[in-house]
């Protein structure tokens, strides 16, 4: 009977002895909260190139004073000369990682509200002094030239030399942990090529203009069309030109041709200096005006750009530039005005000439 009670008592003791360690173990176990919304946005994914990193996650537990966050990169990454000057560390206003962030002040070691940044072979550790991060906040870490808060970073992390999937893990005394992955590839760029054909547009409104009968006592101005009679109005347009080009250097418009000529006789040209019309003096000249000026239009070239005076510097063998654009240019419209004057000794005859206008695209 005593043996029976003793055996029962011993079983109870053994049961209690075995149970106590179990309950003690249950009481001291701690499970870190998993980080959420983890991401690492890199500036380059090509093997062996340097890259910026922007790592974000939401910490359920937050970070208390004196705690740290350890970012552990796969050893295939090379952190090189990274220090706190190449790092920005910020706390989001909420758990929204696309929202507003407040940057933290950083230094090599934590002091008061300043956070410390230490860099190992594969780790970047952010340590709080007295500052904290609230629970359920998005945390952002920038490493590289994208870090610009206190100073602009100059050093970047070098990618692994072999293509593949690589991890960046977050842990530390703040208690939460998580891992994100990045894919390093052989080449992350696509060379895109395209050709844009050169376009040059040029037109002349009228191919025949007429002064009709010249007189030494008054100037005549050409009018468009054969036998159109000419005009005594200095604002009479002889014809129009239109030019445009998408070439990098724009375009050049030139004129070439002799003065008004009748057999061996000719009317003296004005020359390369803009000169007022002077009845009683032999003159042949022209001037041009842009009728649709704007930021992407061409311009009349001196001496043909006078508002009232005329010039003519070409001849049968020499061209003269009358209009010019130096960049790709939308359609520019030019009005051309012609003057002819004679003196009392100008030989009688039927005078004519042919002027050749050429537009050339410039590269």
- Which tens digits make up the pLDDT trace of 173-218? 999 999 999 999 999 999 998 988 889 999 999 999 999 999 999 9
Tell me the fold of 36-184: Immunoglobulin-like (2.60.40)
Range from 102-106, 117-121, 191-195 carrying the lowest mean pLDDT: 191-195
Percent of the chain at pLDDT exceeding 90: 89
What's the alpha-carbon Rg for the chain, to the nearest Å?
A: 43
pLDDT, one tens digit per residue, over 210-228 is: 999 999 999 999 999 999 9
Report if pTM > 0.75: no
* Separation of alpha carbons 107 and 94, rounded Å: 25
For 209-243, letters b (16+ CB in 10 Å) and e give: bbbeebeeeebbbbbbeeebebbeeeebbbbbbbb
The reported pLDDT for the residue numbered 31 is 52
Tell me the domain boundaries of the chain. Answer: 36-184, 200-361
Q: Is 27 helix (H, G, I), strand (E, B) or coil?
A: helix
Q: Assess contact for 308 and 264: CB atoms under 8 A.
A: no
Q: What is the mean pLDDT of residues 296-325?
A: 97
pLDDT at position 95 over 50? yes
Q: Assess contact for 203 and 197: CB atoms under 8 A.
A: no
What value does the mean pLDDT of the chain take? 92
């Amino acid at each position: 009977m005593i043996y029976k009670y003793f055996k029962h008592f011993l079983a109870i003791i053994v049961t209690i002895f075995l149970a106590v360690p179990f309950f003690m173990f249950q009481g001291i176990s701690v499970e870190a909260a998993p980080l959420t919304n983890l991401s690492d946005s890199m500036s380059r994914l090509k093997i062996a190139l340097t890259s910026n990193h922007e790592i974000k996650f939401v910490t359920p537990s937050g970070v208390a004073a004196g705690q740290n966050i350890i970012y552990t990169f796969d050893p295939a990454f090379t952190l090189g000369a990274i220090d706190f000057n190449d790092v920005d560390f910020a706390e989001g206003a909420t758990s929204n990682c696309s929202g507003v962030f407040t940057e933290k002040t950083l230094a090599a070691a934590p002091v008061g509200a300043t956070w410390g940044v230490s860099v190992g072979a594969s780790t970047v550790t952010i340590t709080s002094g007295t500052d904290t991060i609230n629970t359920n906040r998005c945390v952002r870490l920038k490493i590289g030239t994208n870090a610009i808060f206190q100073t602009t970073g100059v050093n970047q992390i070098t990618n692994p030399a072999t293509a593949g999937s690589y991890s960046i893990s977050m842990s530390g005394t703040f208690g939460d942990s998580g891992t994100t992955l990045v894919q390093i590839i052989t080449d992350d760029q696509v060379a895109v090529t395209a050709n844009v054909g050169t376009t040059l547009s040029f037109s002349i409104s009228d191919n025949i203009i007429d002064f009709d009968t010249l007189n030494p006592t008054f100037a005549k101005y050409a009018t468009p069309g054969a036998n159109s009679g000419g005009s005594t109005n200095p604002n009479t347009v002889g014809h129009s030109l239109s030019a445009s080009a998408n070439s990098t250097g724009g375009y050049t418009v030139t004129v070439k041709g002799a003065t008004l000529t009748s057999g061996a006789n000719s009317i003296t040209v004005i020359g390369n200096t803009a000169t007022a019309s002077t009845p009683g003096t032999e003159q042949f000249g022209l001037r041009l005006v842009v009728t649709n000026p704007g930021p992407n239009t061409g311009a009349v070239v001196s001496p043909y750009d006078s508002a009232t005076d005329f010039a003519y510097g070409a001849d049968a063998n020499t061209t003269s530039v009358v209009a010019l654009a130096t960049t790709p240019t939308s359609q520019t419209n030019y009005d051309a005005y012609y003057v002819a004057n004679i003196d009392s000794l100008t030989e009688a005859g039927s005078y004519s000439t042919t002027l050749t206008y050429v537009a050339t695209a410039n590269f």
